[in-house]
Every structure is written in C-alpha cells, then in structure tokens.
Structure 1
Amino acid sequence: MTAPLINGYEVVIGFETHAQLATASKIFSRTSTAFGAEPNTQASAVCLALPGTLPVMNKKAVECAIQLGLALGSHVAPRSIFARKNYFYPDLPKGYQISQFEIPVVQGGEVSFYLGDEKKTVRLVRAHLEEDAGKSVHDLFPNESGIDLNRAGTPLLEIVTEPDMRSSLEAVAYAKELHKIVTWIGICDGNMQEGSFRCDANVSVRKPGQPLGTRREIKNLNSFRNMQQAIDYEIRWQIEQLEDGYAIEQATVLFNPDTGETRAMRTKEDAADYRYFPDPDLPPLVIAPEWIEQVKAAMPELPRAMAERFVQQYGLPEYDATTLTQSQAMAAYFEEAAQACGQPKLASNWVMGEISRRLNNEEIGMDAVKVSSAQLAALIGRISDNTISNNAAKQVFEALWVGEGSEVDAVIAAKGLKQMNDTGALEAIIAEVVAANAANVEQYRAGKDKAFNALVGQVMKASKGKANPAQVNALLKAKLDG
C-alpha cells in the first residue's frame, strides 16, 4: 500500500540511530560506562586523548556489532577500518571522534515490521562502531554552561537506514522494532531517557516522481511520542515553506516538546566537511568466521522467528504472536502459561488483556508481574473445566494480584466462586424463574430475544452468580421451547 500524499507531496524519511552498547567499559579504554556518576569522574586520559595514550579496542563492543549484524541479516565485514571524524565542539575533547567511514563493520540488512496488517521492510545501509562525545550541560548556573565528559568514549553502534519510510507512523513503527531487537539480543538497554537509544530522523518532501528533496535532520528524539510529533511538524513546515516559494536548506534541527515545534540548530554538514581519514592508532578490525559462528551459536531466538513459531506451534493469530513477542519476558511468560494449561489462545488473551492492562496501569514491566505464569495456567484450567465462570475468574485474578491468596483453588473456595453445574439444581431454579416471570416467557415465545436474556439474568441472580451461563442458556431454552 502506497503512503497517502500530504497536500500533493510525498514524505521521505531515513533514520540514524545511536544504540549505546551494553559494555561495562568504554570502547577504547577500561573506564566505566555506568550512568549517573558525578560529572567528569569517568573520563580517563584515553577518553581525553592526552599525549602518550593509545586506544585499545573493546572486544565486547565488537561482539555486540556481530550480534546486530546477525539479527538484521547483514554482512559482517571480515575487515573494517576506524577513521577520525574531525569537528570542533566543546564536548569533544580530542577535536575528533573515532568512528568508521569507508568500511563499516556491519553492512546492509533490513528491519521488517507490521503497520496494521501490512508488512513493511526498511533497508539498512550500515551499522558502524564509534565512540560517543561528552555532554554540554546548560542548567548549572545562570548564563553559564558546563561540560561533562563521562560519556566521552562510550561505545555506540550507529545504525543507518535507506530513506524507505513514508510517514511518521511508519518511522515510529521502525524505531520501535529496532528498539525491540537491540534490547532482545541484549546489546543495548534501550533507555531513551538516559540516552542509550537515540534516534535522528532525516525528513524531506517531494512531488511524486521527483528527485529526493533537501533533508533536515531532527536530532536526539528521546521518546516515540516526541518522534511522531517532531516528524509531523517538520513535514508540515517543509510543505508550507515550499508552497510559499522558499527553498529548504539542509540543516540539523531540534524538537521542542513544550511547543511541539522544530527549530534549526546549525546547517547540516556533509561527509567531506568532517575530513575523515584512517585512525593511525588503530589497526584494521579483523573478524574471523569462527568468531561469527561462536556469536551466532549463543544468540537467542529472534522475535520475528519466535512470532512465526507461535503461529505454527500454538495456532495463534499473527496479531497475537507479534504482540506477545514485544519482549523476551512477555514471550516466556506466555509460553510457560500456554504449555502448562494447554490452552494457548486463552493464555494469549489473558496476557494481552488483563496482564497487560495491570502492567500499564501500575507502570511496571513483566519482571514485576504479580501473578505467576503457573497461577495464570491454573486459573485458565479452572475456566476450561467449568469450575468457575469468566466473571469469577476475574475476581480470582484480582485476589492473586493483590496478594489475597496464592493458590487458585483456595481463592475459589474462600470466596465461594465455584460454579454451579448440578443440572437438577439448575432446572429447579429455572422452573421457579419461569413460573414467576410469565410476561417474559410470553414475550420470548412471541419472538423477542431480549425477554430470553432477561430470564437468564433472573436465573443467574437466583443462583447468586454461580450458575454456569452456558448450561443455563441450554436448560432454559429447552424448558421454554419444550
């Protein structure tokens, strides 16, 4: 499906994402990468490039790059080169950033995801290793700024896409899928507020069939909500500029979440402006095939493959399978419950429904879920064998969640929720209800379905909610039709 035009313009979006790698130390030194330390307490001589210091490659960072390449179906280069990217900024102590340019470690690949029912695929250009810069702090003193170099030298993978996205919804869906992948394989913690997963969106517009328009790069989008708002605003702004007869100037822009607007920060540089040249202190990065195979053997099952397995193995709809594989913790919880109760669709419904609702309301993750997969399986088992109704099951779930009990059967007994399945007892109640509601009986026999529902309600009330609804329907219908 082609993305709709906006005022006759086609939107073109590409992404550059900086994923901070989950290493204990920096990319070229043993300095800690722990978040939240006092400013400038984690900046070593190597981070500052003081005379006589030399960078030494962090093996764990390279393994992270290999993992990403395998996860995205990319080519992992057997030999890649580090370069110096030269620019001058207060938080860049060396005056250059060690990165990769001509030969990156990860080349090509793709990220596939669903936007509604439609499968989308975004092609990747590359993912390269590089070091992070420091951070400028502007709120320490009035009219003054400070420089915190704790982040300087932190290992990053910059993941660059082709300009394949055609709407803000598609861009956000891509970013969410990439975020899921890097956290799933454990190479990044994905914390956007702490800067571990930072997205830059390159946005341009053009008339259909025309060459690509001039792009503007929205820097450091730190939430999916801000991402969509920023891209939508930038699209509107660019179209208005072009419609008013102005040209778009290539620039780096920032998004202000308070105003919902983007503003230009500086004109955008091209690669030539950075004067890349091979870093003389770092030899080529050589990755042997055996190393790739070792990393591959230790990789977890990937989310897309797991979703496909859930469809095949458990007969789940594609939507359920995709939702359940949003995180490893959720997927594992579902699978444990499904295998224990033998009712995968019911387990899926509960995880996507009641479990997810509770987690969202309390703003907690699957690691803090208050009903275990074993408890959920036992609860589903009691629904399946007609021990309790669906309404009673919600009461049991509530009790388990708030800690009023730990055993499903004990909670059912304590609250008197066991469903009435005795045919004789139910027929007696139905006979009393029919005798006492002659008007509803007459209306039902005249073809009014609402009268039947009213009679069912009376039976459920008389049984204090313990009657099996399906059994009540069958017995009542037989009584009335007989």
Structure 2
Amino acid sequence: MAKQYETVIGLEVHVELATKTKIFCGCSTEFGGAPNTHICPVCTGMPGSLPVLNKQVVEYAMAIGLALNCEITRLFKFDRKNYFYPDNPQNYQISQLYLPIARNGCIVIESGSGKKKVRIHEMHMEEDAGKLIHDEWDDTSLVDYNRSGVPLVEIVSEPDMRSADEVISYLEKLRMIIQYLGASDCKLQEGSMRADVNLSVRETGADKLGTRTEMKNLNSFKAIARAIEGERTRQIELLEAGKQVVQETRRWDDNKEHSYAMRSKEDAQDYRYFPEPDLVPIVISDEWIAGIKAKQPELRTEKLERYQKEFDIPQYDAEIITESKKMADIFEAAAAVCGKPKKVSNWLMVETLRLLKENNMEPEDIRFSPENLAKLVNLTEAGTINSSVAKEVFGKIFEENIDPEVYVEENGLKTVNDEGALKAVIDKVIEANPKSAEDYKNGKEKAIGFLVGQTMKAMKGKADPGLIHELLRGSLD
C-alpha cells in the first residue's frame, strides 16, 4: 500500500505599513518613484547617520497585533541582524528577535475543510531592504534604494496549515483585517504584502515534523497555491526515492512552475543578532494600548452583524460587500447619500463586480466616488433615465468617475415620457411592421416584444419600455 503524506505549512508574511515616511528617517514611502529618489544618509546606511523610530509604525503594529488577538510586549527593543546583500546598504537590518512587538495570537479561518484556528507565533517590526533590478540585455544588476527603510511587520504563524486552500484563506483573512485597520493596502502585485512559505511533508499520522524548505518570490495567491503544490510534490518524490529533503531557501519561478535552490537555510546564529545600539528600548503603557484599542475601527464581523440589522440587503450581498473595506466604505457612503441601500448593493454586486472581473481589477482599485453612484441610483429611481441607459452611464462612472447628472444632461440621455411623441413613433413602428402587429392581434403575445424593441431602437434607447408596452397595447387593441 502506497504511503500517505501530510503537508505541514507555516507562513512568514511581510506587510509594508501605510506610513507616509520610512521607519527610521523622513524619506517618502510612496510606491513607484524614479529609482534612488526617496533616499537619505540614514536609509542608504551612510557612516555616522542615526535612526529615529517612527511612532506611527509602532501604533500600526500594535493595532494589527490587537486585531490578531496577540499579547503586546510591554517593553520591546530592536536588534541588529547582520547579513550582506547588495540591496542591504548597511550590511545589517534593524529588526526584532528577542522582544518582538506582539506574540501568541491567533485568527480563525474558513476553508473547504471547515473552520480552523491558526496560531500566530509572533509579529515583529523591521526595515525593508532595497530592490535589485537585473538587466539581462547588459548582463548587469542595478540597485534601487527607494524601498530601503520602508517599515514592515513580519507576521510569523505556527505550522498549523495543511493545504493551499487553508493558506489562501489565512492570507485573505489577514489581508482583510489589515486593510480594515488602514495599516496597509496589502497589494501583492506592488509588494506591500509578501508571503514566504515554510513547507514540509511527513507520513500521515507521524508526530515528528519533516525537513522544511522556505519558498520566496510569491506575489499572488495563485502563485502561492501553485508553489505549495509544486514543492509538496517535489518533497514527496525525494522521500519516495529514498533521498533526503535539504533545509534550504528556494525561489519559485511561476512561469516555469518550478522552484530552485537559492541558499542553505540560515539559523538565527548565522545572523549574529545583537541589540541595536542606536535605538533605546520602548515601554508601552496601559494608556497607550487603551488609546489604540479605542481607535480600532469596526472590523468585518461587526460590520456583517450591523448590515443585517441596519440595511435591508441579503446576507450573501453583505458578505461579498464586506470582504473588501473599499467596497464596504463605498456602499455605506452611497447609501447615506441616496437612502436606498438595496439599490446601491445591486449596483455593487452586479455591474461593479462584472467590470472588476473584466478589467482584472481588485475592489481596492475602484476609482469612482460613492456620491456619483448615489446620483446614478437617484436618476434611475426617479425614471430620469431607464435601466439600459443607466448601465451605459455606470460604465463611464466606473472608468472615469464622471458626474452622472452632468453626463446625462450633456448627452441628451433623459428618458422621453411625452406620450404624444411616443405615440407618433409607435404609429410609425406599427406601420413599418404590419405582420408583427397582425400576429399580436391573432393572439401571439411575443410579437409585442419585437414591437417594443423596434420602438426603443427608434427612440435610441431613451424611453421607458414599460410605458411603450402600455401605449403599444392601447394602439393595437
């Protein structure tokens, strides 16, 4: 009988915090600047420059720690992690090993295998390194230090996950909590959320953990799922062939769907950690923690509960809308303006999700304002525009955030409700389509649908189909 194997997975998740400036200096953290324009002597490791801790980094870290049910460390300090990479200008990284900001947390995830508690071993603050850009044409490597010194938290889970499905559920829950806190945008494609996967396999039922590998270079949930499956298969094949799994760091190539070894896995002693001499230890008071707790926003669980009581929308809609803080904010603001939460929910659930999917966008990429969505709802509900025109106008709102009232006026899209003008058009349509008119009179109900369509076409879509239907019946009967 073939051996059965169990996959054991723990994650190290790096999250860039949403501060305006870096962790130890006043340089901008904005993404996408020209290379080496957001730098200074501190974040490029110049001799004699001294770090100064950004208070907002600590407050974001505390907020995340509390939301992840962690214990906040009352006296924390920073440590120096020594290593040489070309994108690490000081040849060390200021991080936390001995007294991290938060420890012993957990979150509950839901996946195909049901609900599960994933424990969080610890979370620490640290500075990011720069970025290497490899130019294959010139066969050179260039370094951009803009990212050097950008504040990170690293959230280290216990090895509690057993499948790619559970890993994705954990990451989605983590991302949602941090986005709700406003502590990071967690955009994987921009690197503001990055996950390293620690994975090992063991025979089902075994107590002892197998030898783990760490996989890097994972910048999408799909890549993470493929990497887990690829590494699981690779390790099982090694064990089946009587070989040993080597503890190492591996780089995942998503195009080739293959990982390759980068370096043997270092242990803490390899980094020669020692207390950071240029930063003092920080004491966190009860008052400081109470202040952070008081500022914690309403998270998804509470929002879902409130939506059921406050807004008359289906539970399914509420669950989809609250999955994204951006979507939930738009929903609440638009509903407050127009007073029609169910109609706002319909636009978000149908047209918004359709356009996001078509454009390969995330809800966080939505650019339209709640006010413009509310105006569209009001125009439609008042009968100023019909549903097909409303869809056209929403397409423009989604693309360019146009003011729908101005757009409808400038493009002459208001519904024509003048019965006299409509009757004149209807008479022409009946005259041009005598067979359909005759079919209707002979009891073929479907024929009137064709005539409604022809009238709408003649009106260039700017009429109320219900009113046309009514007037057509009057004329034909």
TM-score of the two chains, using structure 2 as the length reference: 0.78
Q: Is the 8 A contact 1:19 1:156 kept in 2?
A: yes
Question: Among residues 152, 156, 180, which one is paired with 1:156 in the alignment?
Answer: 152
What residue is the counterpart of 1:76 in the other structure? 72
Taking the TM superposition and a 5 Å limit, the aligned residue runs for 1:4-15 are 8-15=4-11
Counterpart AA for 2:320: T
Q: Is the 8 A contact 1:85 1:276 kept in 2?
A: yes
SS in 1 for 2:172: helix
What residue is the counterpart of 2:167 in the other structure? 171
1:301 aligns to 2:294 (yes or no)? no
What residue is the counterpart of 2:182 in the other structure? 186
Counterpart AA for 1:221: L
TM-score of the two chains, using structure 1 as the length reference: 0.77
Question: Among residues 101, 105, 121, which one is paired with 1:105 in the alignment?
Answer: 101
Q: Is the 8 A contact 2:189 2:219 kept in 1?
A: yes
Q: Is the 8 A contact 1:419 1:468 kept in 2?
A: no
What residue is the counterpart of 2:274 in the other structure? 277
SS in 2 for 1:165: coil
Q: Is the 8 A contact 2:72 2:101 kept in 1?
A: yes
Mark the CA change 1:440 to 1:32 in structure 2 (over 3 Å): closer, same or farther: closer
What residue is the counterpart of 1:448 in the other structure? none
Q: Please state how far the C-alpha of 1:349 moved relative to its aligned partner.
A: 2.1
- For 1:277 and 1:85, how far apart are their aligned partners in 2? 7
- For 1:167 and 1:228, how far apart are their aligned partners in 2? 9
What residue is the counterpart of 1:312 in the other structure? 309
Q: Please state how far the C-alpha of 1:286 moved relative to its aligned partner.
A: 1.0
Mark the CA change 1:319 to 1:438 in structure 2 (over 3 Å): closer, same or farther: same
Mark the CA change 1:78 to 1:416 in structure 2 (over 3 Å): closer, same or farther: closer
Counterpart AA for 1:222: N
Taking the TM superposition and a 5 Å limit, the aligned residue runs for 1:458-477 are none
What residue is the counterpart of 2:82 in the other structure? 86
Q: Is the 8 A contact 1:388 1:419 kept in 2?
A: no
Q: Please state how far the C-alpha of 1:408 moved relative to its aligned partner.
A: 8.6
Mark the CA change 1:312 to 1:206 in structure 2 (over 3 Å): closer, same or farther: farther
Taking the TM superposition and a 5 Å limit, the aligned residue runs for 1:7-26 are 8-26=4-22
Question: Among residues 256, 260, 283, which one is paired with 1:259 in the alignment?
Answer: 256
Taking the TM superposition and a 5 Å limit, the aligned residue runs for 1:412-451 are 414-415=412-413, 417=415
Q: 1:326-364 deviations in whole A, cap 9, x for unaligned?
A: 443322221133344444233212112212333454567
Question: Among residues 122, 126, 129, which one is paired with 2:118 in the alignment?
Answer: 122
Counterpart AA for 2:290: E
- For 2:414 and 2:90, how far apart are their aligned partners in 1? 72
Q: Is the 8 A contact 2:81 2:272 kept in 1?
A: yes
- For 2:389 and 2:132, how far apart are their aligned partners in 1? 56
Q: Please state how far the C-alpha of 1:198 moved relative to its aligned partner.
A: 1.9
Question: Among residues 342, 347, 350, which one is paired with 1:350 in the alignment?
Answer: 347
- For 1:191 and 1:403, how far apart are their aligned partners in 2? 22
SS in 2 for 1:201: strand
Identity, in percent, stands at 41
Counterpart AA for 1:394: K
1:228 aligns to 2:188 (yes or no)? no
Mark the CA change 1:40 to 1:193 in structure 2 (over 3 Å): closer, same or farther: same
- Bigger Cα displacement from structure 2, 222-231 vs 403-412: 403-412
Q: Is the 8 A contact 1:43 1:149 kept in 2?
A: no
Question: Among residues 391, 406, 414, which one is paired with 2:404 in the alignment?
Answer: 406
What residue is the counterpart of 1:247 in the other structure? 244
Mark the CA change 1:470 to 1:234 in structure 2 (over 3 Å): closer, same or farther: farther
1:58 aligns to 2:51 (yes or no)? no
Q: Is the 8 A contact 2:123 2:155 kept in 1?
A: yes
Mark the CA change 1:254 to 1:361 in structure 2 (over 3 Å): closer, same or farther: same
Structure 2 gaps, min length 5:
none
SS in 1 for 2:404: coil
Q: 1:59-82 deviations in whole A, cap 9, x for unaligned?
A: 222112112123323221111232
- For 2:23 and 2:395, how far apart are their aligned partners in 1? 48
Q: Please state how far the C-alpha of 1:397 moved relative to its aligned partner.
A: 3.6
What residue is the counterpart of 1:291 in the other structure? 288
Q: Please state how far the C-alpha of 1:125 moved relative to its aligned partner.
A: 1.4
What residue is the counterpart of 1:447 in the other structure? none
Q: Please state how far the C-alpha of 1:405 moved relative to its aligned partner.
A: 7.3
Q: Is the 8 A contact 2:383 2:415 kept in 1?
A: no
Counterpart AA for 1:407: E
- Bigger Cα displacement from structure 2, 375-384 vs 364-373: 364-373
Mark the CA change 1:404 to 1:418 in structure 2 (over 3 Å): closer, same or farther: farther
What residue is the counterpart of 1:3 in the other structure? none
- For 1:362 and 1:8, how far apart are their aligned partners in 2? 42
Q: Is the 8 A contact 1:33 1:42 kept in 2?
A: no
SS in 1 for 2:280: coil
- Bigger Cα displacement from structure 2, 124-133 vs 220-229: 220-229
Mark the CA change 1:298 to 1:390 in structure 2 (over 3 Å): closer, same or farther: same
Q: 1:211-230 deviations in whole A, cap 9, x for unaligned?
A: 33222111132233322222
Taking the TM superposition and a 5 Å limit, the aligned residue runs for 1:127-138 are 127-138=123-134
Mark the CA change 1:366 to 1:168 in structure 2 (over 3 Å): closer, same or farther: closer
1:196 aligns to 2:192 (yes or no)? yes
SS in 2 for 1:130: strand
Taking the TM superposition and a 5 Å limit, the aligned residue runs for 1:317-356 are 317-356=314-353
- For 2:177 and 2:355, how far apart are their aligned partners in 1? 25
Mark the CA change 1:397 to 1:248 in structure 2 (over 3 Å): closer, same or farther: same
Structure 1 gaps, min length 5:
1-5, 445-450
The Cα RMSD (Å) is 4.5
Q: Please state how far the C-alpha of 1:319 moved relative to its aligned partner.
A: 3.6
Counterpart AA for 1:336: A
